[in-house]
Amino acid sequence: MGTHIAAQADLIVDARCAVGESPVWVAAEQALYWVDILASKLHRWDAASGAVRHWLAPEMMGCVAPRKEGGWIAGMESGVFQLTLDPNTTSVKSERLAVVQHVTTTMRFNDGRCDRQGRFRAGTMFFDTNAARPVGAFYGYEKNGGLTLLLDGLIVSNGLAFSPDGRIMYVSDSHISVQKIWAFDYDIASGTPYNRRLFVDMNPYPGRPDGAAVDADGCYWICGNDSGQIHRFTPQGKLDRSLTVPVKKPSMCAFGGAGLDTLFVASIRPDDIDLSDQPLAGGVFALRPGVCGLPEPMYAD
């Protein structure tokens, strides 16, 4: 087992998100964005002023990535969208770029981001995770407007991240019946993963493998949902250290801050939560993990 690090987790926004996910640090704005999936909201926190605002999307957003040309690309319920945020209101101009052919109804995109070359990649899931239906898939969005199936048979697609050189891709299935993280070789020319192998079996460790980030050393940080911990694994799959947050369901982490030395963590606030036990659930936290991250890749048209 790795070392437990007593890094202070500071609450930056008491957001009370039902399902806070997909934190993204935008360096040009010195601001953190994240989604509340069930509320169809995209939130923004300004690091200098502490000001918080949000925008409402037409569908649930599972994941977002900034576009080099401005605005956002998002994996939502019915497909991949381009979003333009109104600076003066909570309105969003949305354009669906690609329709996803789910294998059944009541599905949506979940975890996703851009690879190091700026290509959008994201996975899907069935709404009711208790059904444990392995109908989730992992797609690559192509600039001609299509979606390419890259992986199927997932229950809850999660944990997407890329090594610093972009040649290793990580994906997890966070369902309680699976709890595994896989590594793939990644063809950076075509954006295709291959040579799938088990990276970490999370069953012996605290928490289910939710959202992830990779640091400048190439180590993989994964939120241990249900455990209140964030784990750092080396590129060899060895647990290096664990950090604690004051909520049980950290959902995804992202490096940010002026020096990319802050680890931001989004979290979940379930309906049946015991608020006396974790009143800050659904909040967004900031920790100093002792390492630096990498700039989040932007979608390149």
Pairing state between β 239-244 and 3-5: parallel
Chain segment 83-101, per-residue pLDDT in tens:
999 999 999 999 999 999 9
Is residue 295 in some structural domain?
no
Is residue 219 in some structural domain?
yes
Is residue 200 in some structural domain?
yes
Is residue 175 in some structural domain?
yes
Residue numbers of the domain that contains 79: 3-287
The answer to whether the pTM exceeds 0.85 is yes
CATH code of the domain covering residue 73:
2.120.10.30
Chain segment 37-85, per-residue pLDDT in tens:
999 999 999 999 999 999 999 999 999 999 999 999 999 999 999 999 9
Output the 3-class SS for the chain.
CCEEECCCCEEEECCCCCEEEEEEEECCCCEEEEEECCCCEEEEEECCCCCEEEEECCCCCCEEEEECCCCEEEECCCEEEEEEECCCCCCEEEEEEEECCCCCCCEEEEEEEECCCCCEEEEEEECCHHHCCCCEEEEEECCCCCEEEEEEEECEEEEEEECCCCCEEEEEECCCCCCEEEEEEEECCCCEEEEEEEEEECCCCCCEEEEEEEECCCCEEEEEECCCEEEEECCCCCEEEEEECCCCCEEEEEEECCCCCEEEEEEECCCCCCCCCCCCCCCEEEECCCCCECCCCCECC
Judge whether 210 counts as a catalytic residue: yes
8 A C-beta contact, residue 62 and residue 108: yes
Is residue 161 in some structural domain?
yes
Is residue 299 in some structural domain?
no
Is residue 292 in some structural domain?
no
Is residue 293 in some structural domain?
no
Chain segment 219-238, per-residue pLDDT in tens:
999 999 999 999 999 999 99
Q: Which candidate in 210, 217, 272, 274 is catalytic?
A: 210
- Number of domains the chain is built from: 1
